Structure 1
């Protein structure tokens, strides 16, 4: 668990670029406004990059009153905080579905959904995820602050590496995936 906040991430990103830190998105400084405009895009990109433990939710959706015109019997609105679908149906029992805009079409009247939600509290994120977000925020702000495309590109590269590390650390908190007995796996042993 981190002690980070959206402000601390953006402030640290600015400091990486040699700019003064910010204490609020509303303060009267050169980079507070741009930071608050760019941060949601960076945050959501980081959240969508991996099925993070800190940003995974499970729900069972109820169908809308109006059915799709054809092919599927039911449609479901995605949750308002939805960013990315991880699983539709229960584990080892996936459902056939189609996503259209912010709706899922399916042939069932109750839809189990595992998804990545818009977790806007970096205090619940792992420190490695926060570090990746800081570097990616710095990359997004780099040209505005320094007018350097090479610094921007270097920070993007570093941010992508830090994101890979954060994904690996987060993935270690999950039990290993087990494959059921099948003719293929039984033939190997």
Structure 2
């Protein structure tokens, strides 16, 4: 096996809701609409892997995609994670927006045979406690821990906070954390990961 092919940390995950309930106009319009994307970011042990995340906000629907890569220059795709949630509440504050989303499935797709072999050999950690991984076959990992990330069950209510910085946005949790604060509140600080607007 090529040791230069990094086995990605399971970076964020995307959902596929079959139906997103209609929400009040305020919840649909409080969040900035459009498509946002990160730069190629280093992740993993010694920052040896790469990661690009994308968020699309359309009305009351928040979709997210994370693509992990074998190396820190985001050259060879290894794992794709897809998610789509429904925004149930959104409240604009002085310098941020607090929002609550109802989570859908978190879907992993392994893109390289070497990665599939690694997941099947490490079921209790990277493999999300699921065996029988196949290359190119999506699997729902909702409610699972895919080391080092733990994803909520489908239908969970997840609180997050969004900061707007010109053409950039950042979140308190998304894209690498999918857990509520212990006290049930909103995250106090912004993630260091910025998403840049790429289209309306």
Give the TM-score band, short-chain normalised. Answer: under 0.3
- The higher relative CO (CA closer than 8 Å, separation ≥ 6) is in 1
**Relative to total residues, which structure has the larger strand share, 1 or 2?**
2
Higher helix share: 1
Give the TM-score of the pair, scaled to structure 2: 0.25
